[in-house]
């Protein structure tokens, strides 16, 4: 996540210099002083994060969770995931690292900055930095080159100071082997699962208990501020229909002016036959697979058609039905060993056996295209489409802003929709966390809408689908519902908590019986429970099979021993309660496996150890820092 971090304003001195307070009151009034006091959200020593930036980062973090984990983020889940705390920790850490960069006078040269930007794949065309693509990408994300470069510079500074902190990290071979054993140790658990929903005999919550719960958890039930908007959409496709097709002369001129856009690297058209080998296969299995590949190669050299042999023997299901045809590919698109072999062949030649992480390959090159600029005839349709879209985009943008300026005067979005023959869409009421799907990922729009007054027209919003002009139709303030409105909800919550408490206590009682000598099987029979099994898992597995994610349970599992197989505690994972017993443990490692993975594993271990060192540095820096949240500004 990009860090837009600013030094705080000198207006902080109004707290310390009395005569400045008088000056500010006379010149700006008390309201302006209050506004200035409320501009920052977080301070770490002499660095600040503004409330606008803090909310922007918060929304980005929410969007990340929604996209990666496909979660419906309601306030309860946001609290359980600790998203607000994650955000605060991340920003505090970044400010501490930036401060360290200042103190050590770390710097990034202009050349380093430019090189880092040029290496970003999103700004490259055909493997080379494209200035036009760079500007377009920034424009679409509503960033200026200056803003982006400032963010990139801060990111580079943070990386540099991290490297300085962890530069001396080392490890011994014994330490590496011990960690390898520790990480590859496996356990298999038996477990009993208690479902709180089965504990239906809990008593109903009393009125006083309900009132107390409401009094102590009012904020939990707060209904957020909501707005209702109307919007019209300007679609580029509609403008493209009306745009005249570019002439051949225009297409030719574009081709001559931007011919580097149509450069392509050397390409190879190849076929292959794959005999798969699992990366964890034994030496005997690898030797057998290689022997099979050698036999196939011998038949091809003996005159058998490559395409026929591929269709019969290749284990690449994506290409074997096409005679092993991979089509054209350029450098960087294939596994390195495969690419080196393919690009060393001439048309019609067949390779020897090529080993990759997938198995053993036999490669045949059909044809080669040398690097160069594609001919005009091949790209003229592409250019025509590009020019058409570019013109339509520009005309659409002009029309959008013309309409927006008119709406600022009339405020009549319905009439504008009718005049432009566009649909006016009215949304339901939505909160900051529940934007209409079409506008869900537009953080700037979210801020504009919730800042706007009733009836206000929001500046045009651009997405990949087109432009939107939005009017705020209604707003509802945040409020806490009365007890009567949410009494049923509270009763359900208290009942659920009572059921969970009963399930946990039942689990504790079962553990007492186990300590008295009652077997796991007897416990299960008496409680009409089923003993289940996780299967083997390691410490690095985030998910415990058939149970879920629980670092606490995972840690406990690896402390169990055959002579003491039961954990002395019950575990709450998700909505269930668990009792666990060690069934089996595997601690031995394959020395050959260790030496084969030693180099890669060593790099990962070094990275892990560096992260631990960085975490320790940040913990110490934070303990010595002055960290303040603005009490005048509400958390997102």
Domain of residue 402, CATH code:
3.10.50
Considering the domain architecture, whether residues 61 and 10 belong to the same structural domain is answered as yes
Q: 236 and 205 in one domain? A: no
Do 536 and 187 meet the contact criterion of CB atoms below 8 Å apart? yes
Instruction: For residues 38 and 630, give the distance between their C-alpha atoms in angstroms, rounded to a whole number.
Output: 7
Whether residues 425 and 506 share a domain: the answer is: no
Q: CA 219, CA 235: separation in Å to the nearest integer?
A: 42
Sign of the alpha-carbon torsion through 316, 321, 324, 330: negative
* 394 and 429 part of one domain: yes
User: Does 62 reside within a domain?
Assistant: yes
Instruction: Classify residue 124: in a domain, yes or no.
Output: no
Residue 592 has a pLDDT of: 64
How many domains, the chain? 4
Q: How far apart are CA 215 and CA 119, in angstroms?
A: 56
Same domain for 539 and 395:
no
Q: pLDDT digits over 25-77, tens only?
A: 223 333 333 334 457 888 899 888 888 788 878 877 877 777 666 666 667 77
**Cβ atoms of 589 and 614 closer than 8 Å:** no
Residue 256 resides in a domain: no
Q: Specify if 115 maps to a domain.
A: no
For residue 113, is it within any domain?
no
401-434 pLDDT, tens digit per residue, is 999 999 999 999 999 999 999 999 999 999 987 8
Among the candidates 370, 397, 417, a domain finishes at: 370
Q: Which two tokens stand for residue 492?
A: 């359900």
Q: Does residue 612 form part of some domain? A: no
Strands 359-369 and 267-276: antiparallel
Average pLDDT of each block of 10 consecutive residues along the chain (636 residues)?
Answer: 26 29 30 48 87 81 71 70 86 91 87 89 81 78 82 89 80 70 87 96 94 92 92 88 86 87 88 91 91 95 95 93 93 89 95 94 95 89 89 90 93 93 93 78 76 92 86 94 94 95 96 94 94 93 90 93 94 94 83 64 73 89 89 66
> How high is the pLDDT of residue 144?
82
Q: Give the DSSP letter string of 487-522.
A: HHHHHHHHHHHHHHHHHHHHHHHHHHHHHTT--HHH
Q: Are residues 365 and 400 in the same domain?
A: no
Q: How many CB atoms lie within 10 A of CB 424?
A: 16
Is residue 471 situated within a structural domain? yes
Give yes or no: residues 509 and 464 share one domain. no
The per-residue b/e assignment along 203-224, b for 16 or more CB within 10 angstroms, e otherwise, is eebeeeebeebbeeeeebbeee
Q: Which residues contact 300 (CB under 8 A, 6 or more apart)?
A: 306, 309, 350, 362
Last residue of a domain, one of 476, 511, 541: 476
Q: Which residue has the tokens 């869409």?
A: 425
Quickly tell me which residue has 């990139």 as its tokens: 152
Residues 352 and 272 in one domain: yes
- Domain span at residue 309? 266-370
Residue 413 and residue 471 share a domain: yes
Spell out where 370-483 has E strands. 372-373, 424-426, 457-463, 466-476
Residues 506 and 578 in one domain: yes
Residues 98 and 30 placed together within one structural domain of the fold: yes
- The CA distance from 263 to 124, in Å, is 12
> Phi and psi at residue 192, in whole multiples of 5°?
-110, 135
Would residue 357 count as lying in a domain?
yes
Whether 349 and 364 have beta carbons less than 8 Å apart is answered as: yes
Say which CATH number the domain at 346 has. 3.10.50.40
Q: Among 444, 476, 508, give the residue marking a domain's end.
A: 476
Q: What are the beta bridge partners of residue 476?
A: 226
Q: Which residues touch 306 (CB under 8 Å, ≥6 apart)?
A: 271, 273, 300, 323, 324, 350, 362, 364
| Residues 502 and 445 reside in one and the same domain | no
């Amino acid at each position: 996540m990009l860090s837009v971090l600013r030094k705080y304003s000198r207006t902080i001195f109004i707290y310390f210099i009395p005569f400045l307070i008088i000056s500010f009151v006379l010149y700006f009034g008390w309201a302006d002083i209050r506004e200035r006091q409320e501009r920052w959200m977080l301070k770490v020593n002499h660095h600040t994060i503004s409330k606008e930036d803090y909310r922007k980062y918060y929304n980005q973090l929410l969007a990340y969770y929604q996209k990666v984990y496909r979660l419906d983020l309601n306030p309860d889940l946001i609290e359980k995931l600790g998203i607000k705390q994650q955000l605060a920790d991340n920003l505090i850490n970044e400010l501490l690292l930036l401060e360290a960069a200042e103190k050590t006078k770390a710097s990034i040269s202009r050349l380093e900055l430019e090189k880092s930007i040029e290496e970003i794949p999103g700004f490259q065309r055909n493997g080379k930095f494209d200035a036009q693509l760079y500007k377009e990408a920034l424009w679409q994300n509503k960033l200026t080159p200056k803003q982006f470069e400032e963010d990139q510079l801060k990111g580079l500074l943070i990386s540099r100071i991290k490297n300085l902190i962890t530069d001396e990290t080392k490890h011994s071979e014994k330490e590496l082997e011990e960690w390898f054993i520790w990480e590859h140790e496996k356990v298999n658990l038996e477990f009993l699962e208690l479902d709180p929903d089965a504990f239906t005999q809990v008593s109903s919550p009393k009125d006083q208990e309900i009132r107390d719960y409401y009094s102590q958890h009012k904020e939990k039930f707060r209904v957020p501020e909501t707005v209702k908007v109307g919007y019209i959409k300007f679609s580029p496709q509609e403008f493209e229909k009306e745009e005249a097709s570019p002439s051949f002369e225009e297409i030719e001129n574009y081709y001559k002016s931007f011919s580097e856009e149509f450069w392509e690297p050397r390409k190879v058209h190849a076929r292959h036959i794959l005999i798969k080998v699992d990366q964890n296969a034994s030496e005997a299995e690898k030797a057998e697979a290689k022997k099979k590949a050698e036999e196939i190669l011998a038949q091809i050299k003996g005159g058998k058609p490559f395409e026929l042999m591929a269709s019969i023997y290749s284990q690449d299901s994506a290409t074997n039905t096409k005679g092993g045809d991979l089509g054209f590919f350029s450098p960087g698109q294939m596994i390195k060993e495969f690419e080196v072999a393919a690009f060393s062949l001439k048309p019609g030649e067949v390779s020897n056996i090529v080993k990759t992480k997938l198995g053993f390959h036999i490669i045949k090159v059909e044809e080669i295209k040398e690097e160069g600029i594609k001919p005009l005839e091949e790209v003229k349709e592409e250019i025509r489409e590009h020019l058409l879209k570019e013109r339509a985009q520009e005309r659409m943008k002009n029309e959008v802003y013309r309409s927006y300026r008119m709406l600022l005067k009339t405020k009549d979005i319905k009439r504008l929709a009718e005049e432009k023959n566009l649909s006016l869409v009215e949304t339901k009421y939505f909160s900051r966390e529940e934007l209409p799907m079409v506008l869900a990922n537009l953080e700037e729009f979210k801020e504009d809408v919730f800042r706007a007054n009733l009836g206000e027209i929001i500046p045009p919003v651009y997405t990949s689908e087109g432009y939107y002009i939005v009017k705020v139709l209604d707003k509802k303030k945040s409020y806490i519902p009365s007890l009567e409105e949410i009494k049923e909800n509270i009763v359900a919550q208290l009942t659920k908590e009572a059921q969970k408490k009963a399930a946990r206590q039942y689990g504790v009682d079962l553990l007492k019986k186990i300590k008295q000598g009652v077997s796991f099987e007897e416990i299960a029979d008496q409680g009409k429970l089923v003993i289940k099994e996780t299967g083997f898992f390691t410490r690095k597995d985030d998910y415990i099979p058939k149970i879920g994610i629980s670092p606490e349970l995972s840690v406990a599992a690896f402390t169990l021993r055959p002579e003491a197989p039961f954990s002395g505690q019950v575990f709450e994972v998700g909505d269930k309660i668990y009792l666990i017993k060690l069934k089996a443990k595997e601690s031995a490692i394959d020395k050959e496996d260790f030496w084969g993975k030693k180099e890669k594993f060593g790099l990962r271990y070094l990275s892990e150890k560096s992260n631990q060192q960085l975490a320790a540095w940040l913990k110490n820096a934070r303990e010595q820092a002055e960290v303040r949240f603005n009490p005048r500004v509400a958390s997102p």
